[in-house]
Amino acid sequence: MINFISTLLDNTNVITNDFWTTFLPILRYILFGIIVVCAVIMIISTLMQSNDSNNGLDAFTGNSQESYYSQNKGASRDAILKRITISMAVIMFVCIIIFFVTEIFIGK
């Protein structure tokens, strides 16, 4: 009985092993490409953001001015760049996790 079960398991592993041995390296190349593209986009979007280092001090000293720009900050260029940076970081994180999980399954 044990010999029969091991024969069945060996036959199913041949079918799934062929798929995984051809699919996982291709998936790893695609994931690596996505990681590189996300890293470049994240660097560019971070460098394009304005440097407002006085935001914390304005609240402390009372120099904050209410303007149309400060009230609609969510639709500004910096807010869009911030959302792009965060989304690229999340996509990169997920792709890196999947990349290393596939490394475990390949076993190389």
Q: Running DSSP on this structure, what letter comes out for residue 5?
A: H
Average pLDDT, stretch 75-80?
82
Mean pLDDT over all residues of the chain? 77
Please tell me the predicted confidence (pLDDT) of residue 3.
60
In a domain, 62, yes or no: no
61, part of any domain: no
Which of 12-16, 56-60, 102-106 is the most confident on average?
102-106
Separation of alpha carbons 56 and 40, rounded Å: 29
Q: What is the pLDDT of residue 104?
A: 83
In a domain, 46, yes or no: yes
What's the Rg (C-alpha) of the chain?
25
Q: Is residue 65 part of a domain?
A: no
Alpha-carbon separation of residue 21 from 12, 16, 31, 66, 101 (angstroms): 14, 8, 16, 60, 14
Containing domain of residue 92, as a range?
2-50+74-106
Q: How many independent structural domains does the chain possess?
A: 1
Q: How confident is the model at residue 103 (pLDDT cuts 50, 70, 90)?
A: confident
pLDDT exceeds cutoff 70 at 23: yes
